[in-house]
Amino acid sequence: MIEERTRRLLDARLAAEQAAQRLPSVVAGLLRDGELIWSGARGAVDGQRPDPETQYRAGSITKTFVAVTVLRLRDEGRIGLSDPIGDYLDVGAAGMMTIGQLLSHSGGLRAETAGPWWERTAGSTLDDLVASSLGPDAARFRPGRRHHYSNVGYGLLGALVAKLEARPWYDVIAADVLGPLGMRRTTLRPEQPHASGFAVHPHADVLLPEPEHDAGAMAPAGQLWTTVADLAAFARMLSGRQGGPLTPDTLAEMREPIVVAEQTGQPWTAAYGLGLQLWNVGGRRYYGHTGSMPGFVAIVQITDSPGADTVIVTCNSTAGFGRALGTDLLAILADNEPYCPPEWVPAPTSDDLLGLLGAWYWGPAPYTLALRAGMLELTRADGTNQTVRFRPDGAGGWVGIDGYQAGEPLVPVRGPGGTPIAIDIGSFIYTRTPYDPAGPVPGGIDPDSWRNAPAG
């Protein structure tokens, strides 16, 4: 648990936000290593202070639940991310867009329905959605060209899940995610105790109730109601601290930037993966999702760090809280409760693997191959500290996970006695000494070897 001083600082930051943004109520929580170590609340719901079990609308955090189920179907071999969604559903002009493009908002599909605004009006059927919004003008950009957030696209992904599983999309999510993770307070419609949504007048301290409807075919884009406690369980699964329907490799795939939100002339600060938003704030990476519906704003933000520090915030105001709140709460935690890594203990390593470690050279460039936390790390040893990591591939080999070598196999090349004499990484040959004649150097080595002056 956290120290009392840290708790007071977190409570004060949340109180300042609630007062400054005039939030009718707000609940927040922090996780480290998957454990909910702090929660705080301000305001009132039905005259009572809300808590981590009080329901709020999740908004677009719903999309991440849909993405998890779509990726489970992919992992089972029932669909491919390169498949056009039109192979499975009759969805008009969206039919040429692939499932992966819809998951990453890179299909170029229109952002919203043709009208009226679906978030404030009762929903309709998929057929109605196709007829009204998926005609020839539905594509705003060429598929794959750029990031263009599309609520409509996730309505179609929910319909895909329902079609393949022959039951409503929410029932599939309940079976895949909610039940196994014990998320009993995440529902399609509100269940008491729950907050009601309000708009706060910009120039007076008065409230206007916001409408809430079943969104029909658009519900997969943002209809779920949930709690801080349930989102904590979901975040544990996304960060790999709790088992779920997806493998660690698929979870990592979700977190890879696929499209960057346009920021002309600026370093990227926001991107999108497969059902996850990605943020780069001051060089620190985060993943998760925001959510908003009339009367509600929420966020799940997970730090890409060993402890997977996570912030969750829910509130019942249309304008919501400031963008800095989540990052500020995480910073208070990091500054006052430094992460303590697990204690180092020796790990068994085979003699064969030990023989592969140490100094290697790519041409004249020096590298060091080391085993760290179950992964091989190949680091350039000339001061640049460029490192490429390789993970076990499950078949006795190693595969790259970083940069240029991502996806490329690391293959030992052995001499007559079985001793490693080279490493082959995607046809790049590393030898024990610079241009070692004992290794299979591509193109061979000059017969006169090294010299102290250029040839005449």
CATH number of the domain at 396, please.
2.40.128
- Lowest mean pLDDT across 49-53, 280-284, 414-418, 451-455: 451-455
Rama region for 13: left / alpha / beta (φ>0; ψ in -120 to 50; rest): alpha
357: CB partners within 8 A, 6+ apart: 369, 370, 371
The yes-or-no verdict on residue 443 having pLDDT over 80 is: yes
Q: How far apart (Å, rounded) are the C-alpha atoms in residues 83 and 23?
A: 43
Whether residues 90 and 158 fall in one domain: yes
Give the tens place of pLDDT for each residue, 10-40: 999 999 999 999 999 999 999 999 999 999 9
Higher pLDDT, 42 or 269: 42
Q: Helices marked H in 76-212 — which ranges?
A: 99-103, 126-133, 151-165, 169-173, 179-181
The yes-or-no verdict on residue 5 having pLDDT over 90 is: yes
> What's the pTM?
0.93
CB atoms within 10 A of CB 69: 25
Give the tens place of pLDDT for each residue, 381-403: 988 878 999 999 989 999 999 88
What mean pLDDT comes out for the span 217-240?
98
What mean pLDDT comes out for the span 355-374?
95
Distances, alpha carbon 121 to alpha carbons 113, 213, 214, in Å: 11, 7, 8
Q: Contact, 311 vs 330, CB < 8 A? A: yes
**Does the residue 445 lie in any domain?**
no
**Does the residue 343 lie in any domain?**
no
Whether residues 22 and 166 fall in one domain: yes
Higher pLDDT, 456 or 95: 95
In the prediction, which pLDDT does 267 show?
80
Whether residues 226 and 328 fall in one domain: yes
Mean pLDDT over the full length of the chain: 95
Whether residues 50 and 153 fall in one domain: yes
Whether residues 329 and 374 fall in one domain: no
> Would you state the structure tokens that stand for residue 404, as one six-digit string?
């240029």
What mean pLDDT comes out for the span 87-103?
97
Where in the sequence is the domain holding 424, given as residue range(s)?
Answer: 351-431
Whether residues 15 and 92 fall in one domain: yes
**Does the residue 454 lie in any domain?**
no
The yes-or-no verdict on residue 266 having pLDDT over 80 is: no
What mean pLDDT comes out for the span 85-95?
97
The yes-or-no verdict on residue 216 having pLDDT over 90 is: yes
Residue from 176, 305, 289 nearest 235 by CA: 289
What confidence tier does 263 reach under pLDDT thresholds 50, 70, 90? low
Q: What percent of the chain is predicted at pLDDT more than 70?
A: 99
What's at 239, amino acid-wise? S
Whether residues 280 and 393 fall in one domain: no
In the prediction, which pLDDT does 75 show?
98
Q: How far apart (Å, rounded) are the C-alpha atoms in residues 190 and 192?
A: 7
Whether residues 286 and 327 fall in one domain: yes
Whether residues 102 and 229 fall in one domain: yes
CB atoms within 10 A of CB 182: 11
The yes-or-no verdict on residue 283 having pLDDT over 90 is: no
In the prediction, which pLDDT does 449 show?
87
In the prediction, which pLDDT does 383 show?
80
Domains held by the chain: number: 2
**Does the residue 29 lie in any domain?**
yes
**Does the residue 441 lie in any domain?**
no
In the prediction, which pLDDT does 456 show?
61
Whether residues 20 and 67 fall in one domain: yes
**Does the residue 90 lie in any domain?**
yes
The yes-or-no verdict on residue 455 having pLDDT over 80 is: no
Query: How far is Cα of residue 216 from the mean position of the Cα atoms in its chain?
Result: 26
**Does the residue 115 lie in any domain?**
yes
Whether residues 373 and 253 fall in one domain: no
Q: How far apart (Å, rounded) are the C-alpha atoms in residues 81 and 253?
A: 12
Give the tens place of pLDDT for each residue, 331-351: 999 999 999 998 999 989 999
The yes-or-no verdict on residue 265 having pLDDT over 90 is: no
- Write the DSSP symbol of residue 71: H
Whether residues 279 and 366 fall in one domain: no
In the prediction, which pLDDT does 417 show?
87
**Does the residue 345 lie in any domain?**
no
CATH number of the domain at 205, please.
3.40.710.10
